[in-house]
Structure 1
Amino acid sequence: MTCVTSKDGTSIGYQRAGAGPAVLLVGGGLDDGSENEALVPELARNFTVFNYARRGRGDSGDTLPYAVAREIEDIDALISEAGGSAHLFGASSGGALALEAAAAGLAVDRIAVYEVPYMDNDVAAEQWSEYVGRLTAALADGQRGDALELFMRLAGSSDEDIAGARASSFWPSLEALAPTLAYDAACLGDGRPPVTRLATITQPALVATGGIPDPQLGGLQPGFFDAAADAIAAALPTAERRIIEGQTHVADPKVLAGVLEQFFTP
């Protein structure tokens, strides 16, 4: 990985591949950039792709105290590295961060988001608030495993699923990323779509969801991501709402790349 220095001095690690217009990939929860790795070669045929590890993850540093504004500055530093402007693609909570970056006035050309987990009703928002409170307490006590368990239960993992994860070889790597769950929570705010800020985004935007519920996210209400996407699209001045048939929360990179290539090439 190559590194760029953000405004507060934090080193942000990124992978660069391909040639053409710049596309910056923004990962979601518990992702150190690995989740988008398979998307890089697919997009690199027509774009210069920047896949980075958000602060506190992978090869990137972390400067406390955390603020969403610092993550927006990280994206700004990467956009500068890309030549001064870039398309953005954000998956899951990374989509919320990408939208915040565009709303903050960064030099974003087009923006695409996939299955952003905003809440569209009072019940879900109340559950989110309870989760954030318990997550904050667990991390303050240094209970990273408990923080991960809270996140898994929010998504609907069973006791058996959690026990299996705790016994797995990848659990320590997840615990290393556990503090960043608070960062994703901050990006999502109170859980509701920030309609006032979204209304300031003038760039063309693609708001996408998959056509198949993800069995690993069975704790979410049916149609959760579709309802959130509908609310986002309604708030954005220039938005295209799309369902990518046959895809779950982690979309097939070849299929997703085809959709993004079409959208990023007007």
Structure 2
Amino acid sequence: MDPSDGASGRVLSADGTPIAWERHGEGPPLVVVDPIMMDRTTSGMAGVAERLAAGHTVYTYDRRGKGESGDGEEYTAESEVDDLLAVVETAGGTADVLGTSSGAILALRAASESAVISSVVAVEPPLFGDGGSGADFRPQLAALIEADDRAGAIRLFQESIGVPEEMIRSSEPSPFEPAAHTISYDLTLMIDTDVRSLTGVRVPVLVLASSGSDERLQDWARNAAEMLPEGSFQLLAGGWHGIEDAELAAAVDAFLD
């Protein structure tokens, strides 16, 4: 099949969970990993993916428990790594990976555990350095999900990670409510991943941060770049925990060229 033709399908992860994927563009394969709660219909990476498809065969996918993908009986970070590797296999067996926030952590974990990832662009991975970020609010999240208060779970998450109040007030939670139960998945991924465990990543990694993010997020990104054997760091124009599409796409293209 001509890779320039759009295509979509499902691939089975190692535990049999179906993972929905989509392909666009032409060129070297690039897999895009979304951040928390987002799937292909709500992705904040859609504009970047569209720009990158001009020079790459871009694969997007719904992470476990989101969108059209299935869910396992019990979440583990290893199962999510297997999901990403299954998409890379669909992409031809090797690929570059672009991940944002928790998606960046997932991309780095996969690169540390498998040789099929050629390089990684990691946008503000929330790697805390010691595997912890303070209080673990997963029990409170579980209680809200059990009570079917998905909007409340989303707000708890936003407040707990320091999303600016004006952003919380202006955001509409309803598009993300179907994936609210997966917030705990990403928290598990973040809590269980110590940046020091990623020093085995032996591929080039570009770690990016936004000029509009707080110092905490920027420092985590710089620290990750410093600890990775082939890591480099760039600060780009953007808002809180997000980089302008044009800036991000240009940086990815330059890095992968």
Determine if the TM-score, normalized by the shorter chain, exceeds 0.5: yes
**Residues 168-197 of structure 1: CA deviation (Å, up to 9, x unaligned):** xx544322111110111011015xx62332
Tell me the SS of whatever aligns to 2:69: coil
- In 2: Cα distance, 1:137 partner to 1:147 partner: 9
Q: CA RMSD in A?
A: 2.3
Taking the TM superposition and a 5 Å limit, the aligned residue runs for 1:145-224 are 145-154=151-160, 155-156=162-163, 158=165, 171-189=173-191, 194-213=194-213, 222-224=214-216
The code of the aligned residue for 2:81 comes to I
Q: Which amino acid aligns with 1:2?
A: G
C-alpha contact 2:130 2:194 (8 A) present in aligned 1: no
Task: Show CA shifts across 1:38-81 (max 9, x none).
Answer: 11221111111001110111111112111111111111111111
Query: Contact 1:12–1:60 at 8 Å: present in 2 too?
Result: yes
Q: How many residues align?
A: 247
Instruction: Name stretches of at least 5 consecutive residues in structure 2 with no aligned partner.
Output: 1-7
- The CA distance in 2 between the partners of 1:96 and 1:163, in whole Å, is 27
1:247 shift after superposition? 4.9
State the Cα distance separating 1:256 from its structure 2 match: 0.8
Show the counterpart of 1:118: 127
CA contact (8 A) 1:4 1:12 kept: yes
For the 8 Å contact 1:115–1:225, the answer to whether it is kept is yes
Superposition deviation, residue 111 in structure 1 = 0.5
Question: Secondary structure of the equivalent of 2:44?
Answer: helix
Of 133-142 and 226-235, deviating more is: 133-142
- TM-score normalised according to structure 1 size: 0.84
Distance, in Å, in 1 between the alignment partners of 2:77 and 2:112 is: 12
- Aligned partner (choices 229, 240, 244) of residue 236 of structure 2: 244
- Structure 1 residue 30: deviation in Å? 1.6
Quote the Cα distance in structure 2 between the aligned partners of 1:121 and 1:107. Answer: 27
Asked if the contact 2:237–2:243 (Cα under 8 Å) also holds between the matched residues in 1, the reply is: no
| 1:134 partner amino acid | Q
Q: 2:224 aligns with which of 229, 232, 239?
A: 232
| Residue-by-residue CA offset, 1:83-139 (whole Å, 9 max, x unaligned) | 1100011101111111111111241101110112233699x822xx24334224433
> 2:240 and 2:169 mapped to 1: Cα distance?
24
Which amino acid in 2 is paired with 1:118? L
Query: For 1:251-262, what aligned pairs fall within 5 Å after superposition?
Result: 251-262=243-254
Counterpart position of 2:138: 132
- Name the counterpart of 1:218: none
Partner of 1:15: 22
When structure 1 is superposed on structure 2, of 148-157 and 34-43 the one drifting more is: 148-157
Contact 1:76–1:106 (8 Å) recurs in 2: no
- In 1, Cα distance between equivalents of 2:169 and 2:232: 41
Which secondary structure does the structure 2 equivalent of 1:207 belong to? strand
Match of 1:29 among 1, 19, 36: 36
Which structure 1 residue ranges, 5 or more long, are not aligned? 214-221
The Cα of 1:242 is off from its aligned counterpart by 0.6
State how far apart, in whole Å, the 1-side matches of 2:250 and 2:169 are.
Answer: 37
**Structure 1 residues 83 and 121: alpha-carbon distance in aligned structure 2, compared to 1, 3 A threshold:** closer
Spell out the pairing of 1:29-178 with structure 2 (5 A cutoff).
29-33=36-40, 34-119=43-128, 125-126=133-134, 129-140=135-146, 142-154=148-160, 155-156=162-163, 158=165, 171-178=173-180
Match of 1:217 in 2: none
Percent of counterpart pairs with the same letter?
29
What amino acid is aligned across from residue 146 of structure 1 in structure 2? G
Q: 1:111 touches 1:206 (CA, 8 Å); kept in 2?
A: yes
Give, as a single letter, the amino acid of the residue that structure 1 aligns with 2:141.
Answer: L
Is the contact between residue 36 and residue 51 of structure 1 (CA under 8 Å) also seen in structure 2?
A: no
Q: What secondary structure sits across from 2:99 in the alignment?
A: strand
